[in-house]
Structure formats: structure tokens, C-alpha cells
Amino acid sequence: MKLVEFADVSFNYDSSPTLIDINFSIEKNDFVAIVGPNGGGKSTLLKLILAQLAPSKGTITIFGDKNYKSLEKLGYVPQFTTHQHDFPLRLIDMVLQSKLRNNSFFVRYSKQDKERATEILKMLKIGEYKDRFLSELSGGQRQRALIARALIDDPEILILDEPTASVDISVEQDIYDILKELNKNITILLVTHDVSFVSKYVNKVFCVNRYLHAHKLDDLTDNDAQEVYNKSMKMIKHQCGL
């Protein structure tokens, strides 16, 4: 089942095109890495999927709907670098923000929402920190907190913008292991710089540099000779301009 489909999509902010003739589809339970140079259009691609931008040309179909505007089934995890690290907010309250809508007046969250948030934080192994303030969390804990915030709305697709940009390598490993586990039920799409690292986890790599090249990694397994693997990586990196 195709969850996201781009057909001949182009986009430009001004006269020079940012994305040209983009065609791809994302199936249920895919785990997709979007890689490419800075300014190659990765963020723009995410914004198009999240309907924050409209394509200049072509059609985007999400959950079979060409005018998909309700974003509840799309979970989004931004980079933490864009937030204030010492923002005076408790972890659990930050996660519960996902339950806010334009008609959320006054202060209360429901008991179910709070229980669900606690459950998700436990699953992400940050349950014990739920009453801590964001300033008291490490980079990895903050990143998990953002993943928790996206998960509380039970998304069908989880979209992450460089989830491991500001964490060290062991935390990076942890986060990918969590994502791999989540991928059993949820389709995952993430932007990253490190194509070799994610190749163990993902089944598709999209190279985005104005054009998009899709690579399937399904046929690459651990049993493959190292040589074959290295060769494919080299080709992907070459095509991605990395």
C-alpha cells in the first residue's frame, strides 16, 4: 500500500528550481533515509510531505488523498537544535503539546493522554525523567523526547529531520535501534547525513540533490560480501554527491 506518492513534483522558491521532477513512493513499513548535500532540497521535500509548502508542479498523494491536509497521521520530529535547550517546560508537558489543537482552551489534558504519554516515555526509556525540565536532560534524552511527542498522536508515518545531528555515536546507535523497533508498526522517513551508518537499518535511500534518485537496499543483506556492499555504498554516495 502506497502511503506517500510523488508524481512529477517540482518546487521552486524563486526562479531557480529547488526540486525537479521528483517521483517516488513510500510503502507501508518502509524505512527510508533521505540523504544529500546541504541546500540539496531535503528540508523542502519534508515540507512538501507535511503540506507546509505546495508543489509548483506535479501531484502529491498522501494516504491515497491528493488534498491530504489533516496531519495527525504524520508524526514530525524536528531537529532539537532549533529549540531553546533551557526552555522552562517539563518533559511530559512538552510531549503532551502534541495533543493540542486549535480549540484547546484552558489547561487540562485528559487522564488517557497523560497515561499514553507516560507509556511512550517508558518505551523510549526516558519514563523516569518525565517530570524533569528540558534543561535537565541530555542531548539524547531531548531527542527521544521529541520522538515521544510525535508518537503520542499514533502516527502512521514518522518523519525525522536529522534525529542524530547533535548526539554522540552511542546515543545515535540507541536512537536507530528504537526506530528499528518502531518500524515494525510505523513507516519511517528520516533525513540524515550519514548514509553508511543508516544503511544497516533502512530499506530505501533517497538521494536528493535537486533531483531524486531512489535506491532499494532490500537486496543488500548482511550475508552479502563486503565488497558488494561497499560497491553499492560507493555508488549511492557518488550519486548523492556526498
**Residue 87 within binding range of other proteins, rule CB under 8 A:** yes
**For other proteins, which residue of 1, 54, 100, 225 counts as binding (CB under 8 A)?**
100
CB of 95 to other proteins, least distance (A): 12
Cell numbers 525537479: residue: 20
Q: What whole-number distance in Å separates Cα of residue 69 and Cα of residue 65?
A: 9
Q: What whole-number distance in Å separates Cα of residue 65 and Cα of residue 60?
A: 8
Among the listed ranges 10-18, 82-90, 188-196, 199-207, the one in contact with other proteins (CB under 8 A) is 82-90
For other proteins, the closer of residues 16 and 88 by Cβ is 88
What stretches of the chain show up as alpha helix (H) in DSSP? 42-49, 91-96, 111-123, 139-151, 169-182, 195-198, 226-240
CB of 90 to other proteins, least distance (A): 7
**For other proteins, which residue of 57, 73, 90, 213 counts as binding (CB under 8 A)?**
90
**Residue 133 within binding range of other proteins, rule CB under 8 A:** yes
Pairing of strands 187-191, 157-161: parallel
How many chain residues touch other proteins (CB under 8 A)? 28
Q: What whole-number distance in Å separates Cα of residue 119 and Cα of residue 125?
A: 10
**Residue 138 within binding range of other proteins, rule CB under 8 A:** no
**For other proteins, which residue of 56, 104, 138, 196 counts as binding (CB under 8 A)?**
104
Q: What whole-number distance in Å separates Cα of residue 126 and Cα of residue 166?
A: 18
**For other proteins, which residue of 97, 138, 196, 230 counts as binding (CB under 8 A)?**
97
Cell of 2: 502506497
119: β partners: none
**Residue 111 within binding range of other proteins, rule CB under 8 A:** no
**Residue 165 within binding range of other proteins, rule CB under 8 A:** no
**Residue 78 within binding range of other proteins, rule CB under 8 A:** yes
107 CA to centre of own chain: 29
For other proteins, the closer of residues 33 and 96 by Cβ is 96
**For other proteins, which residue of 18, 44, 98, 164 counts as binding (CB under 8 A)?**
98
CA nearest 43: which of 7, 18, 80, 71? 18
H or E element: which one contains 190? strand 187-191
**Residue 106 within binding range of other proteins, rule CB under 8 A:** yes
Write the binding mask 177 to 216 for other proteins: x where contact by CB under 8 A, - elsewhere: ----------------------------------------
Characterize 96-106 residue by residue with b for buried, 16 or more Cβ atoms within 10 angstroms of its Cβ, and e for exposed: bebbeeeeeee
Cβ atoms < 10 Å from Cβ of 50: 13
Residues that bind other proteins (CB under 8 A): 50, 52, 71, 74, 76, 78, 82-84, 87-90, 93-94, 97-98, 100-102, 104-107, 133, 135-136, 149
